[in-house]
């Protein structure tokens, strides 16, 4: 300690590591423009409509935060946001809808529980059969036994389940809800989405990054198919509504005020998530995640368990998506499995994240609100433009326009979203508010 | 014996049909994967685009086929293949090449291809509407009924005209691809590039040409697959997300980057789908008398309902990723 000045190389003074605070001009300009856009929507469309738009944008912001930690923090691409959103919406429905006495009053719940128990027992049996080689059974024989057992037991359980579910459908309509407050459903929805995310991540995260995209795309379609066709659980295409709100509903306070209160609930949730994510990002854990994203080999050499960390962050993102999906479902007050579309619930969220700035939470929230406003406003705009084109075509060329022009006009928005994705990737790969990389000298 | 005819119709023929279509699609995906090293999500929409081109051309000249005696749609197929190949090369030049030039990670290319998917989908739906349309505009779909050569077989084996064309064209396409990859200079250069891009470039192979050729082949095959699928059923603009999963599952089952594996994978996935939705009760019912008393079979013994068909390729995908991520034939890229 006698000659501290000699032992330290002046090129590596730690003062460079402290970030120079710059004036956040870009943030201010962008959020100012956003505020003006919101005010313009309020002036044009009225308070009730605009508040609804803001609540939905806030729910999408939660989804976008989920995706930004997967894609921005860790470089994992989740192409099945829709599935996790639908799971969240389903749980919000299941827990908040009033109890259906036509189902719970009969012996049907007992039978359903019995089938579920059979299912668990069958799973245990099959898992046991896969361990038979420890008792000295040859490995090939064990595999054959396990596969045959699995097929037979699966067929038995599934036909029992088909019986019970068709009885439920014919006698009680559907299972009904638990009559609990909606926030219970949101939390369980997040947990369920996280569980599915754990399963997918466990299978795919150790392999090429493309496989995760393929698998998530598939699981999203499967979840949707399940929710759409399980009439005994979700009423399928018949839809369930209304879903009770955790806050006073429009019937008591009017549309604007009740939606404003719901908006404040979502705002609080976003603030909490934002704060926690901000802390996590700057904590050693966040640094480790980014190190893995930027250079896997060197972080593995540092002794980091790459697959475990990846799984952690993937599950975390899925939990947020389930939570956001639950809040969105409750707000819509309608559970319609067919309403979950890859375009609205996967690619829109993707555009929000890559346009706003992957890895930058503030940018993601900005992207979510801005893109959602554009998305909502583009619907009347697309219809107007299409009508203009049809009128022009009929007047000038005597073109006989097909009757379904309105639905085609909405398809044009698919084109715009696709173009946005490719253009942003090409010209602004870091988004409008790029992730701030701290430089250490 | 009626049960046997039912089994052949619903499993053997239906499985070969879906298997062929998945195989042709998976070959394209796997070729792109082996040359450009990314999962091309827009492939299913290139298939739809090819079918849509056939639909447009057939609607424009509906009477061409009748003069020769084949469906008009088949005569328009080469033209549609050309157009789809051009589209594929154009998409590469406009969207993928700039990304490659920036040296982005493969996953960014995947997202880019998802953007292209949406653009193609939007364009196709904008022009075709969202409903289904038959590719048989002026022609009539021939249906052949072959009686089984057994006593008391009343139910015939049913096979339709487009299904026969499907098998013939699949065979021709696979043989042509095999000859191209093994005999021609370009094909050998392609295989070299798939093995080691740097070495291929260093030995004087023009990688830009190879990339363009890959897109031409992938586009042409996509047009074939899309058209044959639409001939067999109807043309629908929103098939892509349901086709993507089986096609990728087929490519991964066969081993990514392995064209022959992709063919095998396509048939594995196709047959698995039809076997899973087949009601096994039909085959077991004749033996009902010989079963013990306590065993009454439920009337529906299918593994999954038709509405959950998409679960099958996903299950195969997960199983292969867990037990053998390199695929059955040891793919090169992992």
Report which secondary-structure segment, H or E, holds B185: helix B185-195
CB within 8 Å: B99 and A402: no
Mutation target vs B (from A411, A417, A431; most B CBs, 10 A cutoff): A411
| A206 domain-assigned | yes
Residue A88, domain CATH:
1.10.3470
| Mean per-residue pLDDT over chain A, rounded | 86
Same domain, A85 and A117: no
Q: Does A3 touch chain B (CB under 8 A)?
A: no
Chain B contacts in chain A segment 79-108 (CB below 8 A): 79
pLDDT at A73: 87
pLDDT at A265: 93
Q: How confident is the model at residue A402 (pLDDT cuts 50, 70, 90)?
A: low
Residue B190 and residue B37 in contact, taking contact as beta carbons nearer than 8 Å = no
Q: Which of A118, A151, A173 is the last residue of a domain?
A: A173
| A6 domain-assigned | no
Residue B95 is nearest to which of A402, A408, A422, comparing CB atoms?
A: A422
Q: How many domains does chain A have?
A: 2
Same domain, A188 and A40: yes
Q: Distance (Å) from the C-alpha of residue B165 to the closest C-alpha of chain A?
A: 30
Q: Around B62, how many Cα atoms within 13 Å sit in the side-chain half-sphere?
A: 8
Chain A contacts in chain B segment 39-58 (CB below 8 A): 39, 41
Q: What is the percent of chain A where pLDDT is above 90?
A: 39
CA distance A114 to A109: 8
Same domain, A252 and A108: no
Task: Name the residue of chain A whose CA is nearest to B333's CA.
Answer: A208
Q: Does B291 touch chain A (CB under 8 A)?
A: no
Which residue(s) pair with B145 in the sheet?
Answer: B158
Same domain, A92 and A131: no
- Integer-rounded Cα Rg, in Å, for chain B is 21
Which residue(s) pair with A335 in the sheet?
Answer: A240
CA angle A433, A280, A345 (to 5 degrees): 55
- B255 neighbourhood in chain A, CB within 8 Å: none
Q: Which of A156, A173, A190 is the last residue of a domain?
A: A173
What would the two tokens of residue B327 be?
């695929």
- A165 neighbourhood in chain B, CB within 8 Å: none
Dihedral angle of Cα A345, A348, A350, A355, to the nearest 10 degrees: -160
Same domain, A189 and A315: yes
pLDDT at A12: 45
Same domain, A210 and A226: yes
CB within 8 Å: A207 and B95: no
| B220-261 pLDDT per residue, tens | 999 999 999 888 888 888 777 788 899 999 999 988 888 888
Same domain, A169 and A289: no
| A276-295 pLDDT per residue, tens | 999 998 899 988 988 888 88
According to the 3-state scheme, what is the secondary structure of chain A? Answer: CCCHHHHCCHHHCHHHHCCCCCCCHHHHHHHHHHHHHHHHHHHHHCHHHHHHHHHHHHHHHHHHHHHHHHHHHCCCCCCCHHHHHHHHHHHHHHHHCCECHHHHCCCHHHHHHHHHHHHHHHHHHHHHHHCHHHHCCCHHHHHHHHHHHHHHHHHHHHHHHHHHHHHHHHHHCCCECCCCCHHHHHHHHHHHHHHHHHHHHHHHCCCCHHHHHHHHHHHHHHHHHHHHHCHHHHCHHHCECCCCCCCCCHHHHCHHHHHHHHHHHHHHHHHHHHHHHHHHHHCHHHHHHHHHHHCHHHHHHCCCCHHHHHHHHHHHHHHHHHHHHHHHHHHHCCECHHHCCHHHHHHHHHHHHHHHCCCCHHHHHHHHHHHHHHHHHHHHHHHHHHHHHHHHHHHHHCCCCCCCHHHHHHHHHHHHHHHHHHHHHHHCCCCCCCCCCCCCC
Q: How confident is the model at residue A249 (pLDDT cuts 50, 70, 90)?
A: confident
Mutation target vs B (from A67, A204, A214, A419; most B CBs, 10 A cutoff): A214
CA distance B181 to B191: 7
pLDDT at A66: 94
Q: Distance (Å) from the C-alpha of residue A164 to the closest C-alpha of chain B?
A: 13
Domain span including residue A117? 101-173
Mutation target vs A (from B93, B102, B119, B133; most A CBs, 10 A cutoff): B119
Q: Tell me how crowded residue B171 is: count the other CB atoms within 10 A of its CB.
A: 11
- Between B157 and B275, where is the model more confident? B275
Same domain, A79 and A167: no
What would the two tokens of residue B226 be?
């899309």
CB within 8 Å: B118 and A343: yes
CB within 8 Å: B308 and A415: no
Assembly ipTM: 0.88
Domains of chain B by residue range: 2-323
| Whole-Å CA distances, A46 to A50, A254, B163, B275 | 6, 14, 57, 56
Q: Can you tell me the mean pLDDT for A117-141?
A: 90
Chain B contacts in chain A segment 327-366 (CB below 8 A): 342-343, 347, 350, 354
What would the two tokens of residue A100 be?
């259906």
| A46 domain-assigned | yes
Q: What is the percent of chain B where pLDDT is above 90?
A: 37
Chain B contacts in chain A segment 382-411 (CB below 8 A): 402, 404, 407-408, 411
Same domain, A165 and A218: no
CA distance A313 to A319: 10
- Integer-rounded Cα Rg, in Å, for chain A is 26
- A425 neighbourhood in chain B, CB within 8 Å: 99, 104, 108, 111-112, 115
What would the two tokens of residue A152 be?
């037979």
CB within 8 Å: B95 and A158: no
Q: Which CATH architecture is the domain B2-323 placed in? A: Orthogonal Bundle (1.10)
CA distance A247 to B117: 40
**What ranges make up the beta strands (E) of B185-302?**
none
Q: Which of A141, A158, A173 is the last residue of a domain?
A: A173
Dihedral angle of Cα A14, A18, A20, A23, to the nearest 10 degrees: 180
Task: Name the residue of chain B whose CA is nearest to A199's CA.
Answer: B318
Q: Around B81, how many Cα atoms within 13 Å sit in the side-chain half-sphere?
A: 16
pLDDT at A20: 55
What would the two tokens of residue A83 be?
């599935």
CA angle A166, A168, A171 (to 5 degrees): 105
| A12-64 pLDDT per residue, tens | 444 444 455 667 888 899 999 999 999 998 998 888 889 999 999 999 999 99
Size of the A and B interface in Cβ pairs below 8 Å:
154
Same domain, A95 and A130: no
């Amino acid at each position: 300690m006698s000659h501290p000045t000699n032992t330290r190389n002046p090129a590596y003074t730690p003062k460079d590591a402290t970030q120079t605070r710059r004036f956040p001009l870009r943030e201010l300009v962008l959020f100012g423009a956003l505020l003006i856009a919101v005010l313009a929507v309020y002036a044009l469309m009225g308070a009730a409509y605009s508040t609804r738009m803001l609540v939905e944008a806030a729910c999408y912001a939660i989804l976008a935060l989920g995706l930004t930690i997967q894609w921005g923090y860790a470089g994992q691409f989740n192409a099945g946001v829709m599935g996790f959103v639908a799971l969240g919406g389903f749980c919000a429905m299941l827990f908040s809808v009033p109890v259906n006495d036509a189902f719970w009053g009969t012996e049907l719940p007992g039978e359903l529980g019995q089938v579920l128990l059979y299912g668990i027992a069958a799973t245990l049996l099959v898992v046991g059969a896969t361990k038979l080689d420890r008792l000295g059974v040859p490995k090939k024989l064990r595999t054959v036994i396990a596969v045959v057992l699995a097929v037979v037991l699966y067929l038995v359980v599934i036909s029992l389940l088909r019986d019970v579910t068709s009885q439920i459908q014919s006698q009680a309509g559907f299972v009904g809800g638990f009559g609990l407050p909606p926030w219970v459903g949101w939390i369980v929805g997040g947990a369920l989405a996280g569980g599915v995310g754990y399963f997918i991540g466990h299978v795919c995260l150790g392999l090429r990054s493309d496989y995760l995209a393929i698998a998530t795309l598939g699981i999203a379609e499967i979840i949707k198919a399940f929710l759409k066709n399980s009439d005994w659980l979700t009423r399928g295409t018949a839809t369930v509504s209304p879903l009770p709100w955790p806050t006073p509903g429009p019937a008591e306070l009017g549309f604007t005020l009740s939606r404003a209160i719901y908006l404040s609930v979502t705002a609080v949730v976003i603030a909490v998530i934002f704060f926690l994510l901000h802390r996590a990002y700057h904590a050693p854990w966040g640094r480790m995640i980014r190190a893995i994203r930027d250079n896997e080999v060197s972080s593995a050499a540092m002794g980091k368990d790459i697959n475990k960390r990846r799984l952690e962050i993937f599950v975390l993102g899925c939990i947020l998506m389930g939570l956001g999906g639950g809040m969105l479902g409750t707000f819509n007050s309608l559970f319609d499995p067919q309403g979950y579309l890859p375009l609205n619930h996967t690619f829109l969220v993707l555009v929000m994240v890559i346009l706003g700035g992957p890895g930058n939470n503030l940018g993601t929230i900005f992207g979510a609100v801005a893109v959602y406003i554009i998305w909502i406003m583009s619907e009347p705009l697309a219809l107007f433009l299409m009508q203009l084109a049809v009128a022009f075509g009929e007047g000038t060329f005597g073109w006989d326009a097909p009757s379904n022009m309105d639905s085609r006009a909405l398809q044009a928005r698919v084109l715009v979203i696709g173009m946005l994705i490719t253009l942003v990737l090409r010209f602004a790969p870091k988004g409008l508010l790029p992730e701030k990389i701290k430089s250490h000298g | 014996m009626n049960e046997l005819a039912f089994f052949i119709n619903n499993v053997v023929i239906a499985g070969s049909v879906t298997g062929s279509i998945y195989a042709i699609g998976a070959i394209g995906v796997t070729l792109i994967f082996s040359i450009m090293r990314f999962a091309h999500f827009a492939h299913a929409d290139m298939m739809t685009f090819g079918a849509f081109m056939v639909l447009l051309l057939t609607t424009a000249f509906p009477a061409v086929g009748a003069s020769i005696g084949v469906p008009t749609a088949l005569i328009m197929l080469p033209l549609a293949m050309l157009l789809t190949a051009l589209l594929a090369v154009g998409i590469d030049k406009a969207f993928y090449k700039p990304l490659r030039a920036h040296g982005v990670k493969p996953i960014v290319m995947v997202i880019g291809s998802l953007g292209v998917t949406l653009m193609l989908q939007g364009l196709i739906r904008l022009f075709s509407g969202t409903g289904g349309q038959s590719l048989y505009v002026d022609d009539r779909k021939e249906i052949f009924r072959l009686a089984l050569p057994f006593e008391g077989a009343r139910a015939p084996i049913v096979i339709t005209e487009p299904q026969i064309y499907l098998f013939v064209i699949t065979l021709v396409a696979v043989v042509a691809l095999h000859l191209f990859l093994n005999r021609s200079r370009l094909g050998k250069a392609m295989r070299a590039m798939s093995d080691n891009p740097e070495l291929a470039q260093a030995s004087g192979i023009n990688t830009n040409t190879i990339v363009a050729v890959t897109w031409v082949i992938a586009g042409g095959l996509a047009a074939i697959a899309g058209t044959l699928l639409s001939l067999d059923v109807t043309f629908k603009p929103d098939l892509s997300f349901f086709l993507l999963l089986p096609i990728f599952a087929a490519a991964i089952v066969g081993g990514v980057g392995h064209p022959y594996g992709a063919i095998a994978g396509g048939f594995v996935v196709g047959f698995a789908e039809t076997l899973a939705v087949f009601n096994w009760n039909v085959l077991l019912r004749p033996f009902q008398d010989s079963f013990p008393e306590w065993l009454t079979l439920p009337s529906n013994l299918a593994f999954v309902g038709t509405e959950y068909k998409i679960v099958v390729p996903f299950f195969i995908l997960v199983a292969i990723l867990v037990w053998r991520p390199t695929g059955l034939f040891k793919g090169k890229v992992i």
